[in-house]
Amino acid sequence: MTESEALARLTPRERRCLDLVAQHYDTGQIAAELGISVATVNGYLADARRKLGARNRKEAARMLGAAPVALREPPVADAPSEHGGMFERVEPVPPPPTLSAARVERGSGGWLSRLLYLERTIEPHRFGAGGRTLMIVGLVVAMCAALAMAVVAAVGLVSIFASLRS
């Protein structure tokens, strides 16, 4: 299969995702721009890479960008294509702003609530693997400190009650 045939097989969404990759958008930014999930963006990009035979998303974006303008534009069709399906032409409705996002924009909560994950329950992907690991280690240390203080308090109470008896 030639490169022009492979480019012709790309759906409009795959083309749009590759265009945004060429503009240096990351997966989260592409998802926000198109109003779809990160997993859906990854699926579109994986399908595009497979169709083009590219090693990675950057190479696929370069292949689409290097193509003549006629090949870069999606084919216009009245009926749903066999690759895209009838839902390919439907534009998603952006989700309404969440209460958590509104609170973060206003600046309420502060760093402690963000650190304790109170304002990020809607968007857990915003902490990287290192941040999540650090948070788990911090919680374990805090639990050990709380347990140690509880033991010290219990020993202190026992010694007070023992001294009152004698």
pLDDT, tens digit, 9 for 90 and up, residues 55-111: 999 998 888 888 765 455 554 444 444 444 444 555 555 665 555 544 444 445 566
135 and 122 housed in the same domain: no
Helix residue ranges per DSSP H, 35-128: 38-52, 57-66, 69-72, 99-106, 110-115
105 and 142 housed in the same domain: no
49 and 59 housed in the same domain: yes
Predicted structure pTM score: 0.43
Q: What is the pLDDT of residue 152?
A: 96
Q: What is the pLDDT of residue 4?
A: 73
Residue 136 lies in a domain: yes
47 and 71 housed in the same domain: yes
Residue 67 lies in a domain: yes
N-to-C CA span, the chain: 94
85 φ/ψ sector (left φ>0, alpha ψ -120 to 50, else beta): left
Residue 151 lies in a domain: yes
Q: What is the pLDDT of residue 86?
A: 47
120 and 137 housed in the same domain: no
132 and 122 housed in the same domain: no
Residue 46 lies in a domain: yes
22 and 50 housed in the same domain: yes
Confidence at 116, pLDDT banded by 50, 70, 90: low
Residue 94 lies in a domain: no
- The CATH number that applies at residue 22 is 1.10.10.10
CA distances from residue 50 to 23, 42, 56, 86, 90 in whole angstroms, order as listed: 21, 12, 9, 22, 24
Domain that holds residue 117: 99-126
105 and 144 housed in the same domain: no
Confidence at 42, pLDDT banded by 50, 70, 90: very high
* Averaged pLDDT score across all residues of the chain: 76
16 and 83 housed in the same domain: yes
Q: Which of the listed residues 38, 63, 89 is the one where a domain comes to its end?
A: 89
What average pLDDT does the segment 30-51 reach? 91
Q: Please count the structural domains in the chain.
A: 3
8 and 83 housed in the same domain: yes
111 and 141 housed in the same domain: no
Lowest mean pLDDT among 49-63, 105-119, 132-146: 105-119
- Following DSSP, what letter does each residue of 105-157 receive, concatenated? HHT-SHHHHHHTTTT-SS-GGGS-HHHHHHHHHHHHHHHHHHHHHHHHHHHHH
140 and 72 housed in the same domain: no
For the chain, what percent of residues have pLDDT higher than 70? 62
